[in-house]
Amino acid sequence: MAFHHVAVATRDVQGNHRFYTEATGFELVKVVAAKSPEGGWAKHLFYETGGGELIAFWDLHDDSLPKPVPTAIATGLGLPLWSNHIAFHAIDLDDIKRRRERWLSHGHDVAEIDHGWCLSIYTTDPNGILVEFCTMTRALDANDRAEALRLLADPHPPLASGGDQVVFHKATRAGGGEVS
């Protein structure tokens, strides 16, 4: 089952809009402005990501909230940047290349990782959130599923050798997110 939408707060609604429309290629399709239960108000901005799925952002206006609004869903909690992140589907390797070049042309550094079963590209958005596009490079089969269940049950699983190939792509112009 697909997501309808995932919603997170934004601290820079205009920078966020530029990132998700211009640099990422999504379309703003709906905005709802309403009072919030706490007494302030908010805009809920919905962007179509493809395939009928949406990502939404809260532009919060409430004097009781900290300024600026904390939005980093990983580092804001003291976790590594890579732990909590948003991953979007890329159709194939050509789609990954197009999206990588688009991010780079908009000033966003990109990390590219071949995980052996999928290929991913990463950058950070204006909220300090790691954003990923990922495409499968091979089908997951019954052996993968059996290994997944075995590793889930193992309290001390063998660790992967760290053989993922990582390539860093530096943007040719400034102004985008950095990948750590």
Classify domain 1-71 by CATH number: 3.10.180.10
pLDDT digits (tens, 9 = 90+) for 28-69: 999 999 998 888 999 999 999 998 899 999 999 999 898 888
pLDDT digits (tens, 9 = 90+) for 70-124: 999 999 999 999 999 999 999 999 999 999 999 999 999 999 999 999 999 999 9
User: How do the domains of the chain map onto residue ranges?
Assistant: 1-71, 79-180
Can 1-71 and 79-180 be said to share one CATH topology?
A: yes
Does CATH place domain 79-180 in 2.60.40? no
* CA 49 to each of CA 4, 23, 26, 149: distance values in angstroms, whole numbers, following the listed order: 10, 13, 5, 31
Write down the pLDDT at residue 177. 64
pLDDT digits (tens, 9 = 90+) for 7-28: 999 999 999 999 999 999 999 9
Q: What is the DSSP track for 56-77?
A: EEEEEE-TTS-SSPP--TTGGG
Write down the pLDDT at residue 83. 96
Identify any residues that bridge with 131 across adjacent strands, giving them in sequence order.
86, 123
The answer, as to whether pTM is greater than 0.85, is yes
